[in-house]
Amino acid sequence: MNAPEVISLIVFLVICLAAGAMGGLVTGPAVKTWYPTLQKPSWNPPSWLFAPVWTVLYVLMAIAAWLVWRAGLFFGTPGILFGLQLILNMLWSWFFFGKHRPDQSFAEILVLWVSILATAVAFVQVNLVAGWLFVPYLLWVTFAAVLNGTIWRMNPELGRAG
């Protein structure tokens, strides 16, 4: 890799990890206070698992975006979809942990899931590896959507405006 490629990879890593950090601003406090009070399924992962999993996923996202950028096709539909899914990713944390609204976050995560799939499809058309790097993310968000929906069902009082 030459210097501009290394710098661009670092930029993508910073963008993706910063998105994760922004979501963490509302997630962190709620994980210590609000989240433990919720009814959760027996298969709910331990809280400590989420940060490492998300860190790996953000790194994979960054590498995928960088591969598409390297191909010269990031600016356009692939880049727009990538930006959209990253924004939706951050918004989910705000709905679930910030607003304490599993109902709203469930609706939002479904839109996020579609945007991740669309990004993966757009990326795979440019670079096969870039598209496949989105598969773990899509699988994790699938699991997160099921968990989100289950938590909402187990805590119906959180689905009411108030």
Q: For every one of its 162 residues, what pLDDT tens digit does the chain have, with 9 covering 90 and above?
A: 899 999 999 999 999 999 999 998 888 888 889 999 999 999 999 989 999 999 999 999 999 999 999 999 999 999 999 999 999 999 999 999 999 999 999 999 999 999 999 999 999 999 999 999 999 999 999 999 999 999 999 999 987 654
Domain 3-159 has CATH 3.10.129.10: no
Cβ-count burial of 156 within 10 angstroms (0-12 exposed, 13-18 middle, 19+ buried)? exposed
Residue 162 pLDDT:
47
Cite the DSSP H helix spans in 33-76: 47-70
Residue 158 pLDDT:
87
Q: What are phi and psi of 155, to 5 degrees?
A: -130, 60
Residue 1 pLDDT:
82
Find out whether 14 and 86 touch, Cβ atoms under 8 Å. Answer: no
Residue 89 pLDDT:
97
Closest CA to 118 of 72, 83, 67, 71: 83
Q: Is 124 helix (H, G, I), strand (E, B) or coil?
A: helix
CA distance 6 to 61: 16
Cα atoms in the 13 Å half-sphere on the side-chain side of 102: 22
